[in-house]
Structures are given as C-alpha cells and as structure tokens.
Amino acid sequence: MTRETRSFNNRISIEALLEKTADATVKLGPEFQHYHRNLINLSSRFTEGRFHLAVLGQFKRGKSTLLNALTGEAILPVGVIPLTAVPTFIQYGNTPEIRVKYKDGRPADKFSGGSIDERSAYMARFVTEEGNPQNRNGVAEVEADLPASILSRGVVLIDTPGIGSTFRHNTLATLNFLQQCDAALFLISADPPITEVELEFLREVQKKVPRLFFVLNKIDYLDEQELEQALDFYKHVLSEQAGLNNESPVFCVSARNGLKARAMDDAEGWTASGMAELETFLMEFLAREKFNALADAVSLRAVDLIDATLMEAGIVVQALQLPRQVLEKKIALFEETLKQTENERRLIHDVLEGDKKRVLVFLEEQARELRREAEKFLTDIMQQSAGKNNYAKSRKIDIQNAWAEAIPVFFEQQQATLNEQVKQRLLECLASHEQRLDQLVETLHHTAADLFQVPYHPQRRQEALEIQRKPYWVLNTWNTDALPLLKSTEQRMDELVRRNVENIRWSMLQNLNISFARFASGVKERLAETVAATKGAMEAANARREAQGGSAAAEVDRLGDQIARLKRLKAELAAFGPKSTN
C-alpha cells in the first residue's frame, strides 16, 4: 500500500470515527447538543483543511509563470510590471472565478467565465502596479478559484510581490505575513545568479516559515554542463551563507516550458521541463505533512471532547442513582462553589479593565516615540535632498519624491516592530487572566467530579487547529499622495508624519479593543459552558428521573451503553494522534 493510499484510508477512518462519536454524543440526550455541534464542526474543519504554500523570489525570477504552470492556467499576469502588495490566493473551485475583496467592506467584485486571457487581464487590473498603482483601489485581497488537481488536495497557493523591484516595501509586506504560512517555495534562477538581496531575504524567511523548498528556474537557458555548475554553486551558497544542509532539495525546472506543455497537454514536455518532479513532490508532501498535522490536532481535540462528554454523562448516571435528598444536598454544595466562581469572574473583569488601560497607555507612548523618530527620519531625507539641488521648485519636488520612496519602507518596518511590542504586552497581560480562568474551570470540574466520583481529564489548549486560518498580510496604504497646498515643506512633512502614525495607532487601538472585548466575552462564555456541563448535568438527572416516574434503571442502562461506545471511539481516535496520547 502506498503512502498516499494509507493517508487517504486514514482520513476516511477519522472522518467516520468523528461521525460515530457525534452520533453517540447526541444520543446521550438534548443537554449534550453542544458537544455534538463541536464534533460536527471539528469534522468539517478536518475535511476542509487548507494548507498555505507561498511562492517567494526576487522580481523577474518567474514566480507567476511557475504558479501558472502548477495550476495549468496562465491566470497570473507576467511581464516587466511588478505586482502590488495585494495578496492573491489561488484555491480549488469547480468553475474558474476571481473575487476582488476591498478593505472598506464594500461587496466583492466577481468575474467568472471568459477565456484565460480575459481572466488574466481582469486580475491585472488589481494586482499589478500598472493596473492598480500603490493599491489606489483599496483592494484587500484577490481570490482565484481554479479546477487544478494540485489545489484539490486543500492547498492554497499564494502569489507574493517580488523582492528587489522598485517598490521595496513589497518585501516587508511579504515578510510580515509569512509567519502564518505552512510552507514556501523559494525561486532562484541563472539570470543573474543569487544576489545578496535574495540571501538577506532568505535569512529572514527561514525565521518565519517552518518548511522551505528551493526551485532553480529557467534551466532552458542553460546547457547540461552549465546547469550542473549552477546547481553546485547554489547548493554551496545555500549551505555556506544560508546555513542549509545539503539535503535540502533544489528542483530544476523551466516554468515557461512547463506552462507551454500544460497548455498543449504534452506529458513528455511536462516531464522534460522538470515541473512533473516538483508537482509530484508537492502532492506527496501535502498528502503526508498536511494530513499528519491535521490528524494529530483533530484527534487530540476529539479525545478532549469525549473526555468532557464522559464526565458529564458520568455525573448524570451517578445522580440518577442517588436518593433525592442526597442529590439535592450535592447540588447545594456545588452552588457554593458557583458563588465563589462568580466573585472570581468579577475580579478578573475588574483587573482586566485596569490592564487594558495600561496597555493602551503603552500604545500611546510608543506612538509618540514613533512620531519623533518619523520626524527625524523625514527631516534627514529633506536635508539630504535639499542639498543636491539649489533651485527651490526642483528641490521641493526632489524632497517629495524621496519621501514617497522612503515612507512605505520606513513605516512598514516601524509597524512590524510596534506590532510585536504591543502584541507581547497584550500576551503578557492576558496570560495571568487565562491562567486564573483555567484554575476556575478546573475547580468547577474537579468539584463536580469529586461530588459524583467520576473521572475528570483536563483539556488541552486548541492552538493546534489554527493552521487553517488565512495568512495575515500588511495592507496599509501609506499616504504619500499630493496633500492640500501647505505653506512650507516642513508643514507637509508634519502632515505626512501625523497621518501615517495615526494610521498605525488607530489600527492597533482597534485591534486591542477587539482583543480585550473578545477575551472578556470568552471568559463569560467558557464559565457558562462549564456550569452547563456540571450543574446542568445534575439538574438534567433530576428531570430524567421525574420523566421516568422515579425509576431510573432503564435510563442508566441506556446511558451506560452510549458511554461504553464513546470509550471505544476515544481509544480508536487516540490511535491517530501523537504517540503520547496512546
């Protein structure tokens, strides 16, 4: 049996186990509906799992041509015009369609049908500097659906701006979103050999992307001896200057010839271009790595949900068998714990409000410091540009042009730095509250479990399932357009500083407000779910006994059958997770 077949069979097995688990859970009773919904959602996330693969490289290395070849459709614009910093996500769809989404929330524009040339021309209106200079249209992202076999495995190919083009801020925009990608293809070619700019970019990429593969493109320009020399040279450079071992694969391809072969359905030409080997590798990698990552995460989460369900079901079974007076006494004892928990929740809320104010003060301090640094930065540029030209009007134009080139790079760097600083403050602030919330939830569960003598297993955190989120791309449009007529260049500089710093400050302020609001809401919701899973189980047992006319033996037997079934399913699901869970 091949590795791909095993992965497929395992996928089917996990999906079937999740379906059976959801069925067993819902049969326990209506009070277990929330576990049933969580299991159904978990199954959907597993089935629809997305793997984000970015394509990186210097301007004119052939990234767009490579992506076009992999998908079999020349939809991405190619040529001498650089791309904007608008992200392009290429994903699977039965019918080709392009969707353009905007930052201001207006309805997306859609384009479907037409020829490949028409779809490519439509996309060029939004993702190239020629069609959409400095993203004046306010595009947030572009999605393209294509019926390509490589995309049918759940991979999303992401086109990125080329580094080293006139628009240097595109490099920073690319770096800022890479840390949420699952893997990347790094393109190099023989025209010219790998540059210091590329090596510097590569060193940064290595810090952010967990899996990196290399492609030597444009081999159709080289004869056999030149290709061997070029390959040896690149491997040496990657080893000596990028710290990569010689085992890192370098795929030699001609994306241009591969695209032609795909268009003509020429299997031999596709193989000769080197694209067949790259495609096969990616397909096997996706089948293996993506499945393993998702299988581990989903299995762990499913086991957690089963443990929580078993604890609640165990409380119901034990409560059904207790004398009424004993059950009422245990519920009263649990009520005392609930009162203490509510007091702790209020304390978390009060302290959280104080911490929020302190983080916002930190943001304002950093914004003021950024204004000072920006003023100094633009002043230095103004003085340097002014010294090169004695004619007043030309001097002013030179200054404005210099600012227009420097502002995107400067503020992208500053935003990335400030974002990390504020993020760290936020995480430090919320960590203590998260720990206190965990303790409260543990206390409720342990109290309920002890009262009814049922096993309880602490649940793991859920970050492992976040691999399906769409990568974050910096989308700021730095305002270097003509401003209203001002009295002096200094006043224009002040306005540029104010607008750009406020852009960053306001964006981070909104994110902080949302983060604190979501956390506070999450605290309340999580405690409410815990109460429903503990006190709710006790009250449900009382209601069931009333419905059975005081005799609960049949209900205990029925619940016992479903509990035994869940325990068997738990063991089967745990076998697909990390060895530590077996």
Concatenated DSSP letters for 157-220? EEE-PPBTSS-THHHHHHHHHHTT-SEEEEEEESSSPPPHHHHHHHHHHHHH-S-EEEEEE-GG
C-alpha–C-alpha distance, residues 493 and 379, integer Å? 8
Any domain includes 136: yes
The reported pLDDT for the residue numbered 530 is 84
Q: Give yes or no: residues 410 and 434 share one domain.
A: yes
Run of H or E residues at 517: helix 489-547
C-alpha–C-alpha distance, residues 285 and 156, integer Å? 14
109 in helix, strand or coil? strand
pTM of the prediction? 0.69
Any domain includes 494: yes
The reported pLDDT for the residue numbered 172 is 66
The reported pLDDT for the residue numbered 261 is 95
Q: Give yes or no: residues 521 and 391 share one domain.
A: yes
Q: Give yes or no: residues 475 and 386 share one domain.
A: yes
C-alpha–C-alpha distance, residues 467 and 470, integer Å? 8
The reported pLDDT for the residue numbered 487 is 60
Q: Give yes or no: residues 9 and 58 share one domain.
A: no
Instruction: Provide the domain count of the chain.
Output: 3
Q: Give yes or no: residues 454 and 337 share one domain.
A: yes
The pLDDT tens digits of the residues spanning 42-56 come to 888 787 777 788 898
Any domain includes 351: yes
Intervals of the chain under pLDDT 70: 1-9, 79-85, 162-173, 176, 179-180, 192, 245-248, 386-394, 458-487, 548-551, 578-582
Q: Give yes or no: residues 383 and 244 share one domain.
A: no
Q: Give yes or no: residues 396 and 453 share one domain.
A: yes
Q: Give yes or no: residues 339 and 307 share one domain.
A: no
Q: Which domain holds residue 111?
A: 49-273
Q: What share of the chain is helix, strand, coil (3-state, %, to 5)?
A: 65, 10, 25
Any domain includes 506: yes
C-alpha–C-alpha distance, residues 170 and 321, integer Å? 67
Q: Give yes or no: residues 479 and 352 share one domain.
A: yes
Any domain includes 283: no
C-alpha–C-alpha distance, residues 111 and 99, integer Å? 7
Q: Give yes or no: residues 564 and 509 share one domain.
A: no
Q: What CATH number is given to the structural domain containing 236?
A: 3.40.50.300
The reported pLDDT for the residue numbered 467 is 42
Any domain includes 86: yes
Q: Give yes or no: residues 332 and 246 share one domain.
A: no
Any domain includes 440: yes
480 in helix, strand or coil? coil
Any domain includes 10: yes
Q: Give yes or no: residues 29 and 135 share one domain.
A: no
Instruction: Check the CA dihedral 561-563-529-518 and report its sign.
Output: negative
Q: Determine contact, residues 289/532, Cβ cutoff 8 Å.
A: no
The pLDDT tens digits of the residues spanning 81-132 come to 556 667 889 999 999 999 999 877 789 999 987 888 899 899 989 888 788 8
